[in-house]
Chain A
């Protein structure tokens, strides 16, 4: 039970981190038709800038300053480069962000080096947020913070006690993602600028003729998307690793999320991120393979079949490819994506 809860929370927090990234990607895509290939690079940039800023002013101010810096960089890129190729069509737009991902990766390696940085979360977030104590007699109980050692070890041998801590950084990640989700939703539906953005999504010409500066709105949205990625970067970088490969590890997964959720659908992106986050986290935790399941079911396998590498593959080994398999299945059975409305 406690395994299920902890894994579920881990999966949810990973899924919410994916959503922080894919929401910006989806916003930019549905607004400008631009698939920002460098989105994960902004995530990485956020982590590195956050690292540097936090060394001067501490983690909490860095959590706000670093995304702003990344947002400014994103807006600048939109203004200087992306706007120039807008007239050439969508493929050159995708290509220029592809080129940017190379440049950012190299710049990051140029400035911060090629090895992983030690970007530690603040003291407050370093311990566990709560500990689940599974006592074989008293049942399941929850304890905020670190559980003292005497609670986790039983004096009696017959009594089994298992303590499962849940890291505070993970909890913080979920909190920020949810706050961000609500914030973006309120901004889009309740404010004037949000209404202009929404209408610019579908009828840019009409919005322009009403006197709004649509290119500037594009620039703001691109900058905001980059900023959200930067925020995710500060949190992701301090929770996981801050290294030059971090863009590549999440990069392709968030594209899968956007396709699976349905191109341009924010709620679809949310559903798909959480689904993929949970599926991947659970898959990593299970060590079953086709062979071991068959043996537990009482099937007898020949030696050759048992040594076949397909049969030997465990679910945790397959975990990295699950999102892509999911993508393929979605495309075959529901090409629009989970909550998408557009075909094509």
Chain B
């Protein structure tokens, strides 16, 4: 008897994807060289780790957590304390290893709090994590020794002798540290989805009862996954501490947890790469969009509502659905509809946006005169004609959008039916 050796074919696509990802991480700061771009890129790396670790709970485990910032935040606090210990000579580790300290801290706190939270699943889990988040935030104001009170804890990352010229003084060096951590963490978290535990976590999400019958303890699976997610969350917090060199109590605030949830969902919780899109959007929204308009949280909430209603898979699922259509060569049919949807949608948004901006102006800064500039047009917030014009534009846009949407829905149905038929035919053969 001879055993035949079966060599697996090399998965070229996967190597190409990861290679491209590494290349993007390496090249991005060379393309965008301004100081702002570098900060944005660094924050994106940090956010990508945080959102992916959050998705380990939401997307893969079906655990809706309202308190993920607890683990990123406490990781950040321990990391900054570790950094200060390093600079005082009490802790003999290199600065590059400080995020690991944050990771271990996140892991420890996840092991501690997760013991209580993961006893439940579903909505109860969500409420308990919310309570935990509030608990930790309230504590942060009570113990100024650790959390630094109002001013937070600050540190200095340029310490010790330079190793191969790396001092972490210039932001570009910190960016590359973040990039390396991001790459390793993303690979590790992807690998996690392929482990038996990762698969079991999906099973616990989909059918916990059956998992119990097979002989697994669903609570322990959730608990283990929660601890691992806490580790990566802590790493992201530690990188944040190194990047900003200051950690304030707001890193454990419920608003931060809410942002992780919002953007992970917007990016797409059902696909592994969804949270990466979400994280990039999050940083763009916080850094750029919030400068652009004061009403950005309103727009964000509305986008989120529509996303939950019409595309619960997030942006990632929209991309994948269109890729599927494209692979059957039908995307071209939809182009006209997409164009119509975009144009009419933009008209409606312009009208609505003008009205929202005018209200915000009246509410917040009416002392600075009654005129605002919105998309290159000067609007008079006290003039009735401008309000009527904005309302008219919005309703015309909405009407046209509805017409375009109906047409699009019809075409989409047809194409889906066609794809269905095609795949059934292939299966039959």
B124-A259 in contact (CB<8A)? yes
Q: Determine, out of A68-76, A97-105, A124-132, A189-197, the stretch whose residues face the partner at the interface.
A: A97-105
Q: Is B298 an interface residue (CB 8 A)?
A: yes
Complex formed: what's the CA distance from A158 to B304 in Å? 67
Q: Which of B62, B305, B364 gathers most chain A CB within 10 Å?
A: B305
Q: If A94-B64, A259-B128 touch, does A328 touch B309 (CB 8 Å cutoff)?
A: no
B305-A99 in contact (CB<8A)? yes
- In the complex, how many angstroms separate the beta carbon of B425 from the nearest chain A beta carbon? 29
A103's partner among B119, B132, B301 (CB-CB below 8 A) is: B301
A100-B298 in contact (CB<8A)? no
Q: If A96-B308, A102-B297, A344-B124 touch, does A324 touch B131 (CB 8 Å cutoff)?
A: yes
B295-A110 in contact (CB<8A)? yes
Specify which chain B residues have a CB less than 8 angstroms from the CB of A91 in the assembled complex. 62, 64, 122
Chain B residue, CB-CB nearest to A103: B301
Report the interface size class on chain A.
35 or more
Q: Is A252 an interface residue (CB 8 A)?
A: yes
The A interface is mostly helix, strand or loop, or mixed, namely helix
Q: Is B135 an interface residue (CB 8 A)?
A: yes
A35-B123 in contact (CB<8A)? yes
Complex formed: what's the CA distance from A333 to B326 in Å? 55
Name the 8 nearest CB pairs between A and B, nearest first: A102-B301, A106-B298, A324-B135, A103-B301, A99-B304, A99-B305, A321-B138, A35-B123
Specify which chain B residues have a CB less than 8 angstroms from the CB of A109 in the assembled complex. 363
Q: Is A85 an interface residue (CB 8 A)?
A: yes
A324-B312 in contact (CB<8A)? no
What mask results when residues 317 to 344 of chain A are scored 1 for a CB within 8 Å of chain B, else 0? 1101101110110011001000000001
A332's partner among B116, B123, B134, B254 (CB-CB below 8 A) is: B116
- In the complex, how many angstroms separate the beta carbon of B9 from the nearest chain A beta carbon? 38
B302-A95 in contact (CB<8A)? no
Specify which chain A residues have a CB less than 8 angstroms from the CB of B142 in the assembled complex. 309, 313, 317-318, 321
Q: Is A285 an interface residue (CB 8 A)?
A: no
Specify which chain A residues have a CB less than 8 angstroms from the CB of B139 in the assembled complex. 321
A 280-332 contacts with B by CB, 8 A: 309-310, 313, 317-318, 320-321, 323-325, 327-328, 331-332
A335-B126 in contact (CB<8A)? no
Interface, chain A (partner B; CB < 8 A): 29, 33, 35, 81, 84-85, 88, 90-92, 94-96, 98-100, 102-103, 105-107, 109-111, 113-114, 248, 252, 255-256, 258-259, 263, 309-310, 313, 317-318, 320-321, 323-325, 327-328, 331-332, 335, 344
Q: Is B260 an interface residue (CB 8 A)?
A: no
Complex formed: what's the CA distance from A258 to B312 in Å? 27
B305-A103 in contact (CB<8A)? yes
Report the interface size class on chain B.
35 or more
Chain A residue, CB-CB nearest to B208: A344
Given contacts A90-B122, A98-B261, A331-B119, 11 further A-B contacts (CB under 8 A): A91-B62, A98-B258, A106-B298, A106-B301, A109-B363, A110-B363, A252-B130, A263-B124, A309-B142, A309-B144, A331-B128
B309's partner among A33, A85, A248, A255 (CB-CB below 8 A) is: A85
Q: If A259-B131, A325-B135 touch, does A335 touch B119 (CB 8 Å cutoff)?
A: yes
Complex formed: what's the CA distance from A318 to B126 in Å? 24
- In the complex, how many angstroms separate the beta carbon of B58 from the nearest chain A beta carbon? 8
B120-A335 in contact (CB<8A)? yes
- In the complex, how many angstroms separate the beta carbon of A154 from the nearest chain B beta carbon? 41
Complex formed: what's the CA distance from A114 to B116 in Å? 37
Complex formed: what's the CA distance from A102 to B91 in Å? 43
Specify which chain B residues have a CB less than 8 angstroms from the CB of A103 in the assembled complex. 298, 301-302, 305
Complex formed: what's the CA distance from A84 to B135 in Å? 34
A95-B64 in contact (CB<8A)? yes
A255-B119 in contact (CB<8A)? no
Complex formed: what's the CA distance from A324 to B304 in Å? 29
- In the complex, how many angstroms separate the beta carbon of B322 from the nearest chain A beta carbon? 21
**Can you identify 17 A-B contacts, CB atoms within 8 angstroms?**
A29-B123, A35-B127, A84-B309, A90-B122, A95-B261, A96-B308, A98-B258, A106-B298, A106-B301, A248-B254, A252-B131, A321-B138, A327-B128, A328-B131, A332-B116, A344-B120, A344-B122
Q: Is B93 an interface residue (CB 8 A)?
A: no
B 253-290 contacts with A by CB, 8 A: 254, 258, 261-262, 265
Q: If A35-B123, A103-B298, A327-B128 touch, does A88 touch B135 (CB 8 Å cutoff)?
A: no
A96-B309 in contact (CB<8A)? yes
Complex formed: what's the CA distance from A323 to B132 in Å? 11
Complex formed: what's the CA distance from A94 to B62 in Å? 13
What mask results when residues 125 to 157 of chain B are scored 1 for a CB within 8 Å of chain A, else 0? 011101110110011001111000000000000
A113-B363 in contact (CB<8A)? yes
A100-B305 in contact (CB<8A)? yes
A328-B116 in contact (CB<8A)? yes
Specify which chain B residues have a CB less than 8 angstroms from the CB of A258 in the assembled complex. 127
Specify which chain A residues have a CB less than 8 angstroms from the CB of B22 in the assembled complex. none
Q: Is B172 an interface residue (CB 8 A)?
A: no
B116-A331 in contact (CB<8A)? yes
Q: Is B360 an interface residue (CB 8 A)?
A: yes
B309-A81 in contact (CB<8A)? yes
Q: Is B242 an interface residue (CB 8 A)?
A: no
What mask results when residues 350 to 390 of chain B are scored 1 for a CB within 8 Å of chain A, else 0? 00000010011001100000000000000000000000000
Complex formed: what's the CA distance from A102 to B307 in Å? 14
Q: Which of B298, B309, B312 gathers most chain A CB within 10 Å?
A: B309
Chain B residue, CB-CB nearest to A109: B363
Specify which chain B residues have a CB less than 8 angstroms from the CB of A252 in the assembled complex. 130-131, 134, 254
Complex formed: what's the CA distance from A332 to B113 in Å? 11
- In the complex, how many angstroms separate the beta carbon of B254 from the nearest chain A beta carbon? 8
A99-B301 in contact (CB<8A)? yes
Complex formed: what's the CA distance from A258 to B64 in Å? 17
B 214-233 contacts with A by CB, 8 A: none
- In the complex, how many angstroms separate the beta carbon of B133 from the nearest chain A beta carbon? 8
B304's partner among A35, A102, A114 (CB-CB below 8 A) is: A102
A309-B295 in contact (CB<8A)? no
- In the complex, how many angstroms separate the beta carbon of B366 from the nearest chain A beta carbon? 11
Specify which chain A residues have a CB less than 8 angstroms from the CB of B97 in the assembled complex. none
Specify which chain B residues have a CB less than 8 angstroms from the CB of A263 in the assembled complex. 123-124
Q: Which of A103, A263, A309 gathers most chain B CB within 10 Å?
A: A103
Complex formed: what's the CA distance from A84 to B306 in Å? 11
B120-A331 in contact (CB<8A)? yes
Q: Is B121 an interface residue (CB 8 A)?
A: yes
A110-B360 in contact (CB<8A)? yes
A106-B297 in contact (CB<8A)? yes
- In the complex, how many angstroms separate the beta carbon of A175 from the nearest chain B beta carbon? 30
- In the complex, how many angstroms separate the beta carbon of B311 from the nearest chain A beta carbon? 11
Complex formed: what's the CA distance from A91 to B135 in Å? 23
- In the complex, how many angstroms separate the beta carbon of A3 from the nearest chain B beta carbon? 25
Complex formed: what's the CA distance from A335 to B134 in Å? 20
A95's partner among B119, B128, B265 (CB-CB below 8 A) is: B265
Q: Which of A90, A309, A324 gathers most chain B CB within 10 Å?
A: A324
Q: Is B339 an interface residue (CB 8 A)?
A: no
Chain A residue, CB-CB nearest to B144: A309
A92-B134 in contact (CB<8A)? no
